[in-house]
Structure 1
Amino acid sequence: MKTNRTMKTGTKTLAALAIAGLALSACGRDATSAGGEAQSDAIDDSPASGTIEVWAMGAEGEALDEFTQAFEEENPDAEVEVTAIPWDSAHDKIQGAITSGEGPDVTLVGSTWMGEFGAAGGLMPTPEDLVDGDDFFPGAWEGNQVGGTQYGIPWYVETRVLYYRTDLAQQAGWDAAPQDWDELTQFATDLQSKAGAEYGINLQPGQTGSWQTFLPFAWSDGAELANADGTEWSIASDPMKESLQYYSDFFAEGLAQTRVMDAGELESGFTDGRYGSFISGPWHAALIEDAGTDPSEYAVAPIPGPDGPGASFIGGGNLAVLTDAENPDGAWKLVQWLSEPETQKDFYETVGDLPANSTAWDSGALADDEQLAVFGDQLDRAVSPPAVPTWEQVADIIDARVERTAKGVQDVDEAVDEMQSQASSVGTGL
């Protein structure tokens, strides 16, 4: 298996997108003023002009200023000014810009923040026909819809897959990755009993962000977290309970450990064979190889579902134009350019971000790399959480109940019912 450039770059950027945002303050704009709006009028095909101010975070913020010189060459009357914002202050910076009405024209928005900022009235509805939504991975596109209105365009994406030690799998009698739930359980069992792994699989046993590992199992089983318009939570369901029972059984049977690991422990444990497999995103290839795992010793595969390859979580970054933008026409033309397949392929070569535009994967390294192909396949079945203002609060509720069931201190049915009751008390914010 060959290692690709994407796995070696953008690690901090992708990992930062898992950081939870804070709830938008009730001061300033009405926190439920948007959603259900009409899309903005279509932009014309004239060149962009004027100054376009952009906020971007992480590696994107560092690279975008030089990268957009190509846009300025195509639009000689336009000037792009990029301000790099640290991820740990980005949420509050965007919140402050929305509240004050003083901010950039365009900003990068973490995928789980769209519901909050869109519903706050701080983001401009996407112009009609700016891009073709069918060109983007469905989960990423839908994650920009708040109350039925599109408020941004997916820029780059990430998703989670199954990493496993191929040498240990062969020792255990497996020449291919598990395809469904029954096989995944047997696979983890065999890695322990036949190949000497202490734990056949590593899964998040609760705490912040564990929903990103658990919910793919629930989505694969048909669970829906909210109704179609995002106004009510629908967490309590047979698929949710069935999937949480399946997930918690890995801990109950000793196939996964209930202790939260220290930094670097998973990577070193995977390298020395203590952990036979785990679920994570594209950044983890670089981490395990840096820890000493040879590229020939591991592979990636789609997350198994009940009856075959299942769903995963889709994260990443979106491009949005603020309601108070001084140059909205130029801003949307820049967003349109950054969304084009060729531009996204070039940005992948520059930063290593996986393109949100699925047509960008049809040629070049994105089409030829075996490891990337697994991520591309998984992205077709990746799901975003509901784009509602209170998602971060509800995610915390789910995390806490996942932890209690993983540690065997709460019954699955009771845990799911509590998820539902507490989420209903919080509401969706729409």
Structure 2
Amino acid sequence: MKKRIKKLLSITLSACMILPVFSVSVVEAKPEKTIRVWYWEDNDGSYADAYDTWSEQYPDVNLELEAIPWNSYHDTLIAAAASGDLPDVYKIQPTWIPELRSLNAVAKLDEYIDSWEDKDTIPESMWESARAGQEETYAWPHSLVVLYLYCRKSYFEDAGLEYPKTMDEFYQACEALTKDTDGDGSTDIYGFSMRGARGGHFMWAGLTLNEGIDFFDDAGKVSLNTPEMVEANQKYLDIYQKGWAPKTAPTDGYTEIVQNFESGVTGMLVHHLNSAKEITEVLGDDVDVVALPEGAAGRYLPSEPCHWAVSANSESTEEAVNFLKYASGEEAHKELCKNAGLVPFVTPVTEDPEFTGDKFCAASMEYLDDVQIFPVVNTWGDWSETVWPQTIQRAMMGEIDSAEMIQILADNLARE
């Protein structure tokens, strides 16, 4: 059930409703037709800038880009799919495909992929990820990120610490970096930017599943509920319960964990290349990146590549596919990777010195053999979006213990 991303051959970066308020950018053209595109972005405006040459190539098709906040994206998308009001193209994570298929919301793309003359500029591993274990292809590669550990360089130097390579060293660093700097009895610096809100399951998995545990076994049965996982999970909960993470950690999301790191409140952060530009603008050289620490079974680097999907109800399928090809072109792909902080995978962008010489890109690509894709099952969307954050928040606050938390997660993952 688990799918491992194979070593990227041509990506070797020589390899590196809640109704939300929409931010809409329109790339102007003669409005004979309009295709709507939904996405989320961490760096505002990065998509509009990357795709500003669209009208030069397709002057008769308007491109309407709609940025939806990440916190409400999944729910907005599923509600639109259920009501039949999806845009022509929308960004997804591969684990959402079963959920979207059940709503008849995604178009099959195999015939368009097979006939595309530039198909080989995208590595097979990315097409495999886009297939997401399905017999037919419902997605088109969009982006790739790999988690790593950001470390505040001066904090480690002041504490006389090396960057952590093992889980024991990581937890030791969480404790050692936590300080009351002015002696008033209150912690001023915490060891780790812990994320209890949506999206926190990425860092949680990367720091617990490296003990040799996984979501499913080879027979497709949920295998998360083991004594080893309960123990590894308790060590993770200890980061908060022992005071090594900010008091707001149970509800901290992406914005909060990055702000805590940038402002000096925390000494370590698990994220990916997407946040590197913002962090270095604030911290300059006072930040380093290293691979996630190893557990008993080595490293577990969660990565959920993002893809484009085309609505099954689109009246402009051909134009939508043209946008996918355009977005995968050298110029647009390079601009998006630069602006949004993404790892290039389209050749020859992968060989561009602008990326190969960047330490953050290099850290993204160095351990690709250890990268894992989350399971593609019908329960995953609700599990990751709702069940996981609600459950870990209860555990962090002591309402349930580690064993109860893991039992709830396992039961919800296994339900029909």
Confirm or deny that 1:385 pairs with 2:374.
Answer: yes
Query: Which residue of 1 is the match for residue 35 of structure 2?
Result: 53
Aligned equivalent of 1:154: 141
Report the number of matched residues: 370
Change (3 A) 1:404 1:103: closer
Q: Comparing 146-155 with 82-91, which one deviates more in the overlay? A: 82-91
Check whether the contact 2:47–2:336 (CA below 8 A) recurs between aligned residues.
no
Tell me, in whole angstroms, the C-alpha distance in 2 between the residues paired with 1:191 and 1:96.
Answer: 43
Q: 2:401 aligns with which of 397, 405, 411?
A: 411
Aligned 8 A contact 1:313 1:384 in 2? yes
The separation in 2 between residues aligned to 1:376 and 1:192, in whole angstroms, is 30
Aligned to 2:106: 123
For the residues of structure 2 that align with 1:55 and 1:268, how far apart are their CA atoms? 29
Q: CA deviation digits over 1:102-136, x for unaligned, max 9?
A: 76543333555333213333212231645359816
Alignment of 1:206-285 (within 5 A): 206-226=196-216, 233-238=222-227, 240-260=229-249, 269-270=260-261, 273-285=264-276
- Cα displacement (A) at 1:64: 5.8
- Structure 2 residue matching 1:66: 3-state secondary structure: coil
Check conservation: 1:289, 1:295, Cα contact below 8 A. yes
1:71–1:155 CA distance, 2 compared to 1 (3 A): farther
Partners of 1:390 and 1:294 in 2: how far apart? Answer: 40
Q: TM-score if structure 1 supplies the norm length?
A: 0.69
Give the drift of 1:93: 6.8
- Which of 152, 169, 173 is residue 165 of structure 1 equivalent to? 152
CA–CA distance in 2 between the matches of 1:172 and 1:192? Answer: 10
Q: Percent identity?
A: 19
Which segment drifts farther, 293-302 or 311-320? 311-320
Q: What root-mean-square deviation, in Å, do the aligned CA atoms of Structure 1 and Structure 2 show? A: 4.1
Q: TM-score, normalised to structure 2's length?
A: 0.71
Provide closer, same or farther for how the CA distance between residues 193 and 52 of structure 1 changes in structure 2, counting only shifts above 3 A: closer
Counterparts of 1:14-163 in structure 2, within 5 Å, are: 53-57=35-39, 59=45, 62-63=48-49, 66-69=52-55, 71-72=57-58, 79-88=60-69, 95=78, 98=81, 105-110=88-93, 113-127=96-110, 129=114, 131=119, 135=123, 141-142=128-129, 144-145=131-132, 147-163=134-150
5+ long unaligned stretches in structure 1: 1-18, 23-49, 73-77
- Greater mean alpha carbon deviation, residues 85-94 or residues 158-167: 85-94
Cα distance in 2 for residues equivalent to 1:305 and 1:108: 32
CA contact (8 A) 2:276 2:360 kept: no
1:402 aligns to 2:414 (yes or no): no
Give the deviation of 1:316 after TM superposition: 5.7
Match of 2:166 among 157, 170, 180: 180
**Is the 2:36–2:66 contact (alpha carbons within 8 Å) kept by the matching residues of 1?**
no
Q: Give the whole-Å Cα distance in 2 for the aligned partners of 1:272 and 1:66.
A: 34
Verify: 1:376 aligned to 2:365, yes or no.
Answer: yes
Which residue identity is paired with 1:394?
W
Shift of 1:276: 1.7
Asked whether 1:295 is paired with 2:277, we answer no
